[in-house]
């Protein structure tokens, strides 16, 4: 994500899903088209610190006991549309572009990424709820309050505010949510109302993703 004080979370996601989403704009500071957006994210430099960890492989087929096959990136991209951002007061969201593989999608609605000053959502379907929960640490300093978490309907939720963009000219906010096997993060430019906007958007994602959880 580009916020140095929360290195553990994006590093783990990097280890889990880097083979699957090699062009992920949040993790690698590149656009959906694969064009570099500037200096590499701090995530890349710090990833070597946990290089000896044993990553959990991203699911590539239907997990045992799963009620449905893994959704396609196109299906995951429909969890939020441009009108949803507009409805909560986030300006500038356009027709999304997306990439990924079954069970994982990078979706960009504006700019190269949220780290590049744009609007972005990433969605992952883990093999088990335990694997999904392990992706969303809840250490206290970034955990959402109980009321907001309940309003979203999430098992775990984290809000990371005022992270510097890749160019360092502005900041963006991100919410991470987990419920069942589903993990999603949404990033938008920082404003006075961005936290409430992200809570509302996260609730929409979980309201629409029951088949994948």
pTM for this prediction: 0.72
The Cα angle at residue 122 between residues 120 and 124, in degrees rounded to 5: 175
- Count the Cβ atoms, other than its own, within 10 Å of residue 149: 20
DSSP string, 62-85: PPTT-SSPPPPHHHHHTTS-HHHH
Grouping H, G, I as helix, E, B as strand and the rest as coil, residue 138 is coil
Segment 193-197 mean pLDDT: 97
Residue-wise pLDDT tens digits, 117-155: 999 999 999 999 999 999 998 777 888 999 999 999 999
- Report the candidate in 146, 206, 139 with the shortest Cα–Cα distance to residue 178: 206
Domains, the chain: 67-212 (3.40.1000)
Distance CA 82, CA 100 (A): 19
Residue-wise pLDDT tens digits, 67-100: 458 999 999 999 999 999 999 999 999 999 999 9
List the structure tokens of 4.
Answer: 């140095």
Distance CA 78, CA 6 (A): 28
Segment 150-165 mean pLDDT: 96
- What is the 3-state secondary structure of 108-168? EEECCCCCCCCEEEEEEECCCHHHHHHHCCCCCCCECCHHHHHHHCCCEEEEEEEEECCCC
Distance CA 56, CA 199 (A): 28
Check residue 111 and give its pLDDT. 96
């Amino acid at each position: 994500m580009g916020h140095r004080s929360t290195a553990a979370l994006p590093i783990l996601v990097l280890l889990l899903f880097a083979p699957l989403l090699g062009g992920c704009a949040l993790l690698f500071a590149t656009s959906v088209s694969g064009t570099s957006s500037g200096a590499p994210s701090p995530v890349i430099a710090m990833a070597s610190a946990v290089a000896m960890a044993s990553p959990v492989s991203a699911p590539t087929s239907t997990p045992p006991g799963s009620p449905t096959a893994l959704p396609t990136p196109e299906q995951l991209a429909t969890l939020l549309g441009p009108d949803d951002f507009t409805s909560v007061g986030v300006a500038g969201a356009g027709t999304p572009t997306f990439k990924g593989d079954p069970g994982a999608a990078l979706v960009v609605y504006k700019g190269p990424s949220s780290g590049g000053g744009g609007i972005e959502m990433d969605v992952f379907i883990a093999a088990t709820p335990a694997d999904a929960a392990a992706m969303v640490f809840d250490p206290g300093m970034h955990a959402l309050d109980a009321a907001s978490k309940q309003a979203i309907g999430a098992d775990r939720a984290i809000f990371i505010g005022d992270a510097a963009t890749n160019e360092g000219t502005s900041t963006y906010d991100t919410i991470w949510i987990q419920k069942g096997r589903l993990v999603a993060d949404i990033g938008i430019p920082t404003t006075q109302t961005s936290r409430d906007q992200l809570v509302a958007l996260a609730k929409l994602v979980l309201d629409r993703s029951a088949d994948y959880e």
